[in-house]
Structure 1
């Protein structure tokens, strides 16, 4: 598979993750979790926390591929390493500012966390595969230790899912590194896992098949272990029950492994579609999906400002005396994605990158 095909596979994976993210965020924003038909609630519930995790893994893969390409061209010397660190730092600062602005209207923003994943992740770019795996394990174990030694509930109002002290220095640091929506510990592990995956032979069908099978087995295993552990801990305190959860809050090892497994499956499927399903990959629909995947930064902001803004104007957000269901959220997500597709189809006739992607290039290089 050519580099172009591999990049298209990553774009398609980003598209899948974007659709999942919209479904989950609209469901949460509408207060529709667990309400509605069995099919809709089960489907959206299975996506919760997994779409965002896939995005972070893909970000790590992207950075890793950049470094790999330089290494193959014998460009990865001290000067290139300094350049990559500086470029990544500038982009991280851009994402941090954008994310903090977004946090003013959307508490569950992920962009300001993304900034830290890139900032710390770039220093792992030359680490060995064994070192990356060891670091991932350390982050997972470290979070468990933090959970049992620190107060995970500090700052949270769990009834409204708001973080009271976010805009204080102590609260911001605690949220960013420990008990926020996507804390650096342990979420940086997803980014490092992406760097690890970038070193595999992703262009080979056999590797793609193995990656998908590994992801499926790991996902089924961890979900099964979670159910067994929860059954054994019936009646135990919540802190012990949290150990066995595959829910994103708190992000315990079972959840983290499930997130990595899901990302492996999405990545393998997307790479296979791009490399082998030639007839499908040349269709207008497939190219449109890839173009959506190339604008996920712009579309992430759009789904909050425009998507949730429209839901609020229609009185459909949680707390507006609505009785929305997951089915309603799925319908709203479908309409938003359709509008998104129409916008991207028209926009890409004139421009290659999305508006915010272009802005980041201009400001941060």
Structure 2
């Protein structure tokens, strides 16, 4: 099938807006991961509400942005994009599995399969991709009824018993891992659909903000109402309408689509004024090195926390503070690195190895 009509190439301000969104998604992921690693419990305060709102939303936004990047690359040269993406999927799988030895909530090995399936679906029309997104979410609900979702998990330690065995790996990858292909692939496909819009135009940007906010509000509101209706009947059925990332039910996906659209639309709108105020150039280098910084927040960030004996038993304020301090340091590093090199070290290695 043919792709839908593509918008003309976007100006640099649009690309900077996407880099800003990527940076904000990265900051959100660091906050969530530091909170988990530091064992910070929700205390009902505003920091708990903030970190709770980021759970699953920041990572979903990151995957949507990856889909936009894949879609934009495919518009320029589809055959080359397929070839390069397949090689990069192998690269991401390799470093993701190595990262799993340190950080069991790794997302990179999932990315490998998002790109593998995403690039194969790239030639399809936007309408077909939307249907695929719907099918992924319905398939996940069906799988929850057919299979035991808790298989392999120790929810007290967040350890997955048989991840390194073939059956456990496949189950974790497609069904009950932190970011399973079903339905998380839908976020990448949604990004491909967004890449076909005229994102440099204010009309499209405002539509992303409005529709994104509406989808997010509807998902959260519907979840609240339906959960209160279902809990008295059967608490397990209430899980079907949750917007929590585990398990990723359809309303969670809708909330993730809405949050991603809202953030991306706002970033595209504010990119130009932030550029005039000379704020955006300070952020863009970090937004273009997020693969390197993702690895760094585990090796350097969590490594430092371990050395300081801060993994476990910390407050939410300490977790958020440590995350923001790391992000500040990462932003400074990225600016200094960009003065000499065009790409981050891991990004450069991926380009050298995989194209």
Report TM bin, short chain. Answer: over 0.9
The residue aligned with 2:76 is 69
Please show how residues 3-18 of structure 1 align to structure 2 within 5 Å. Answer: 3-18=11-26
- The aligned residue for residue 61 of structure 2 is 54
Pick from 335, 339, 343 the counterpart of residue 345 of structure 1.
Answer: 335
1:196 paired to 2:190:
no
Paired residue for 1:112? 109
Specify the alignment match of 1:122 in structure 2: 119
Q: Structure 2: how far apart are the matches of 1:254 and 1:325?
A: 30
Residues 86-101 of structure 1: pairs in structure 2 closer than 5 A = 86-101=83-98
Rounded Cα–Cα distance in structure 1 between residues aligned with 2:13 and 2:270: 10
Report the CA distance between 1:283 and its aligned residue: 4.1
Partner of 1:73: none
1:308 aligns with 2:305: no
Deviation of 1:155 (Å):
0.3
Q: TM-score when scaled to structure 2?
A: 0.95
In the alignment, which residue of structure 1 is the partner of 2:285? 291
Secondary structure in structure 2 of the residue aligned to 1:19: helix
Mapped to 2, the partners of 1:302 and 1:313 lie a distance apart of 15
Instruction: Name the counterpart of 1:138.
Output: 135
CA RMSD, aligned part only?
1.3
Alignment of 1:31-42 (within 5 A): 31-35=39-43, 38-42=45-49
Contact 2:10 2:199 in 1 (8 A): no
Q: List 4+ stretches of structure 1 deviating above 6 A.
A: none
Unaligned runs of 5+ in 2: 1-8
Q: State the secondary structure of the residue aligned to 2:279.
A: helix
Matches within 5 A, 1:270-289: 270-275=267-272, 277=273, 280-289=274-283
Q: Does 1:157 align with 2:154?
A: yes
Listed one character per residue, the Cα deviations across residues 311-339 of structure 1 (whole Å, up to 9, x for unaligned) are 11111112xxx3x1111111101211111
Q: Please show how residues 324-363 of structure 1 align to structure 2 within 5 Å.
A: 324-363=314-353
C-alpha distance in 1 between matches for 2:84 and 2:10: 26
Q: Matched residues in 2 for 1:302 and 1:198: separation?
A: 29
- Aligned ranges 1:246-261 → 2 under 5 Å: 246-261=243-258
User: SS in structure 2 opposite 1:315?
Assistant: coil
